[in-house]
Amino acid sequence: MRILRQSREDLLKAAKSKEIIIFGAGEMALRLLNAVDIISHVRFFCDCEKSRIGSRLCGIKVEETERLKSIDPSEAVIVIASGNHQKEMAEQALEFGDFDLYFAKVLVSEIFEHISCELFDNQEEIERAAQMLYDDISRNIYREVVKRRMLYGEADFSDLMIDGDEEYIFPQMFEDRAPSDEIIIDCGAYTGDTVELFNREFGRNLKKIWALECGRFQLAKLNDRVQRLGRLPHSPEIEILPFAASDKEEKLEFYHTAVPNGAFVGASRTFAKNDKYNSEIYQVQAAPLDQLIPEGEPVTMIKMDIEGSEYAALCGAERIIRENKPKLAVAIYHSGVDFFRLIFLIKKMVPEYKIAVRHHKQHHVDTDVYAWI
């Protein structure tokens, strides 16, 4: 399959010289037509569901997929209009000819489209980052995640998950050096789920957690959980820092939103300003980790999952990283450029780091980079 740049603009350019066939005549097709003004260029819909054959959608006939046999691939492009079966439908479409394919799931989502285009526009950088990875498993997972995010936006990623690789507790990081007196910075501590994870996994070998969280709702839940954990035997010292991690001291707009479910600093996710997110917006204090964590603190691990602010946060932790060479577990999936620039930055700070990539969810989220010496 030839990978095309998945954007509304590129589809409209293609429509100037080719007809459009939409494969899938359900809800996703309607969402596509609502998002992109292509109705006048659509030759027909096709669908595998027999109940739809012969019906009309927006006045245009729905045909059997066999109709694709009669179409010259040089004269038409196919848009795959499916929410969950993009890969299978793409393979089916290509059985009828070497068609150029676009994917509605990406085109109808501002976030998916933006990430897809960032990945497409930086393929040389992505391959350079792939070559920096520690093992073939990482390279294979990394390239496949990038491909699926580029084409499908959201799809089934379950075949890329590895049994036994719990997120943030990457086994290879502890092969040569077992956990001992761990001092962890949990950057994006949320409601304390990872604080509890580290407490459970490391037990007596966990000395202290610095838990950074700036969201009001999340902080309240985090405080409750830390108090509960404090009543357990052998609980580590846990210090909550109500800050956003960044590369400088500043006030930032913070968005608490239910679509998608979560919260983030506005500067890291430009889409937050869209009304559809129905965000509660307030200001939070941001500061570099190098300023928040005392000099001389022997940090052994940093975990970051902060909704697109990871690059700035890593820059603000350069002293800690260079001096201590802590294990790193950092989310790279929040933007297209993060897939390569975070790897470049980590390797620049500590060239001897081994770097791996793993994917931890059945869908498109939770792709993380791990670094250790």
Residue 253 domain-assigned (yes or no) = no
Burial of 59 (0-12, 13-18, 19+ CB in 10 A): exposed
Torsion angle defined by CA atoms of residues 184, 190, 195 and 196, in that order, rounded to the nearest 10 degrees: -170
Say if residue 95's pLDDT is above 70: yes
Are 127 and 215 in the same domain?
yes
**Over 90: is that where the pLDDT of 79 sits?**
yes
338-349 residue pLDDT tens: 999 999 999 999
Is residue 245 within 8 Å of 187, Cβ to Cβ?
Answer: yes
- Residue 360, Cβ neighbours under 10 Å: how many? 18
The whole-chain average pLDDT of the chain stands at 93
The tokens for 245 are 């991690």
Q: How many domains does the chain have?
A: 2
Q: Are 99 and 76 in contact (CB under 8 A)?
A: yes
Mean pLDDT of 159-187: 91
Q: Which of 108, 138, 158 is the last residue of a domain?
A: 108
Q: Is pLDDT above 80 for 275?
A: no
Residues 70 and 33 in one domain: yes
- Assess whether 77 and 146 both reside in one domain: no
Percent of the chain exceeding pLDDT 90 equals: 86
Torsion of CA 85, 91, 93, 98, to 10 degrees: 140
Residues of the chain with pLDDT > 70: what percent? 94
Q: Say if 321 falls within a structural domain.
A: yes
Residue from 186, 172, 163 nearest 133 by CA: 172
Distance, in Å, from the CA atom of 95 to the CA atom of 85, rounded to the nearest integer, reads 16
Tell me: pLDDT of 191 over 60.
yes
Is pLDDT of 272 > 50? no
CATH number at residue 26: 3.40.50.720
Residue type, 78: I
What is the pTM for the complete model shown?
Answer: 0.92
Query: Residue 298's domain spans which residues?
Result: 123-243+291-372
96 and 134 within one domain: no
- Identify the CATH number of the domain in which residue 355 sits: 3.40.50.150
Cis peptide before 260 (omega within 30 of 0): yes
Q: Within its chain, how far is the Cα of 60 from the centroid? A: 36
Q: Is 296 exposed, middle or buried, given 0-12, 13-18 or 19+ CB atoms closer than 10 A?
A: exposed
Q: What is the mean pLDDT of residues 6-19?
A: 98
Same domain, yes or no: 102 and 143: no
Measured at the CA of 146, the angle between CA 86 and CA 165, to 5 degrees, comes to 100
Look up residue 91 and give its two tokens. 């393979």
Number of other residues whose CB lies within 10 A of the CB of residue 365: 16
The whole-angstrom separation of Cα 278 and Cα 272 is 9
pLDDT tens digits, one per residue of 278-315: 568 889 999 999 999 999 999 999 999 999 999 999 99
User: Crossing angle, helix 136-151 and helix 86-94, to 10 degrees?
Assistant: 80
In tens, the pLDDT along 119-130 reads: 999 999 999 999
> Model confidence at 175, in pLDDT bands (50, 70, 90)?
confident
Structural domain ending residue among the three candidates 108, 142, 173:
108
pLDDT for res 271: 52
Instruction: Quick: pLDDT tens for 16-63.
Output: 999 999 999 999 999 999 999 999 999 999 999 999 999 999 999 999
Q: Which residue has the tokens 């202290």?
A: 208
Here the tokens at position 208 are 């202290």
**pLDDT above 90 (res 269):** no
Specify whether the CB–CB gap between 87 and 155 falls below 8 A. yes
Q: Please, what's the largest Cα pairwise distance for the chain?
A: 73
Q: Do both 338 and 225 map to the same domain?
A: yes
Residues 12 and 86 in one domain: yes
Mark 65-97 as b/e (b = at least 16 C-beta within 10 Å): bebbeebebeebbbbbbbbeebbebbeebbebe
Q: Is residue 336 part of a domain?
A: yes
| Per-residue pLDDT tens over the stretch 192-230 | 999 999 999 999 999 999 999 999 999 999 999 999 999
Tokens of 338: 């993060």
